[in-house]
Amino acid sequence: MKKTFASLTFTLLAFVAISAVRAEAPPEGFRAIFDGKTLEGWHARPHFNPTKLADMPAAEREAKLAEWMADAKQHWTIENGELVNDGHGAYLTTNDDFRDYEFLLEYKTVARADSGIYLKATPQVQIWDYTDEAKFKLGANLGSGGLWNNSAGAAGKDPAKLADKPFGEWNSFKIRQIGARTSVWLNGEKVVDNAIMENYWDRKSPLAVTGPIQLQTHGGEIRWRNLFIREFTPDEANELLSEQGDDSFTSLFNGKNLDGWHGAVANYEVVDGAIRCKQGHGGMLLTKDEYSNFVARVEFRLPPAGNNGLAIRAPLEGNPAYDAMTELQVLDSEHPKYAKLDPRQYHGGAYGMVAAKRGYLREVGQWNFQEVTVNGTRIKVELNGSVILDADIAEVKEFMADSPHPGKDRKSGFFGFAGHSDPVEFRNVEIREL
The Cα 360–Cα 209 span in angstroms is 6
Rounded to two decimals, the pTM is 0.92
Which residue from 414, 390, 217 is spatially nearest to 313, judged by alpha carbons?
A: 414
Which of the listed CATH numbers 3.40.50.10860, 1.20.1250.20, 3.40.50.1820, 2.60.120.560 matches domain 240-433? 2.60.120.560
Query: 94 with 227: CB under 8 angstroms?
Result: no
Kindly report the CATH number that applies to the domain delimited by 6-232: 2.60.120.560
Which residue from 309, 314, 321 is spatially nearest to 426, judged by alpha carbons?
A: 309
**pLDDT tens digit string along 360-400?**
999 999 999 999 999 999 999 999 999 999 999 999 999 99
Task: Please report which helix (H) or strand (E) contains residue 321, including its range.
Answer: helix 320-323
Helices (H), 194-253: 234-242
**pLDDT tens digit string along 77-101?**
999 999 999 999 999 999 999 999 9
345 vs 168: which has the higher pLDDT: 345
The total of other beta-carbon atoms located within 10 Å of residue 119's CB is: 25
Range 328-334 average pLDDT: 98
The Cα 163–Cα 413 span in angstroms is 47
What integer pLDDT is reported at residue 23 of this predicted model?
A: 59
247 vs 13: which has the higher pLDDT: 247
Range 140-146 average pLDDT: 92
- Whether the pLDDT of residue 5 is over 50: the answer is no
**Could you tell me the sign of the dihedral formed by the alpha carbons of 33, 34, 40, 42, in that order?**
positive
Cα 7 to the center of its chain, rounded Å:
27
The Cα 119–Cα 98 span in angstroms is 9
Range 121-145 average pLDDT: 91
Whole-number mean pLDDT of the chain? 93
Which residue from 84, 218, 201 is spatially nearest to 138, judged by alpha carbons?
A: 218
Query: 208 with 218: CB under 8 angstroms?
Result: no
Cα 100 to the center of its chain, rounded Å:
7
Q: Cis ω on the peptide bond leading into residue 216 (within 30° of 0)?
A: no
Every domain of the chain and the residues it spans? 6-232, 240-433
Q: Are strands 115-119 and 122-127 parallel, antiparallel or unpaired?
A: antiparallel
The Cα 277–Cα 56 span in angstroms is 44
Range 216-240 average pLDDT: 96
What integer pLDDT is reported at residue 2 of this predicted model?
A: 40
What integer pLDDT is reported at residue 167 of this predicted model?
A: 83
The Cα 145–Cα 156 span in angstroms is 9
Q: How far is CA 402 from CA 57, 195, 408, in A?
A: 41, 38, 14
Q: How far is CA 106 from CA 164, 224, 302, in A?
A: 12, 6, 40
The Cα 75–Cα 145 span in angstroms is 24
**pLDDT tens digit string along 17-61?**
333 345 589 999 999 999 999 999 999 999 999 999 999 999 999
Q: In the beta sheet, which residues pair with residue 374?
A: 294, 379
Query: 386 with 207: CB under 8 angstroms?
Result: yes
**pLDDT tens digit string along 62-82?**
999 999 999 999 999 999 999
DSSP code for 145: -
List % helix, strand, coil for the chain (3-state, nearest 5).
15, 35, 50
- Whether the pLDDT of residue 413 is over 90: the answer is yes
Query: 139 with 146: CB under 8 angstroms?
Result: yes
Which residue from 325, 319, 314, 266 is spatially nearest to 289, judged by alpha carbons?
A: 314
Q: Same topology for domains 6-232 and 240-433, yes or no?
A: yes
What integer pLDDT is reported at residue 104 of this predicted model?
A: 98
The Cα 79–Cα 225 span in angstroms is 10
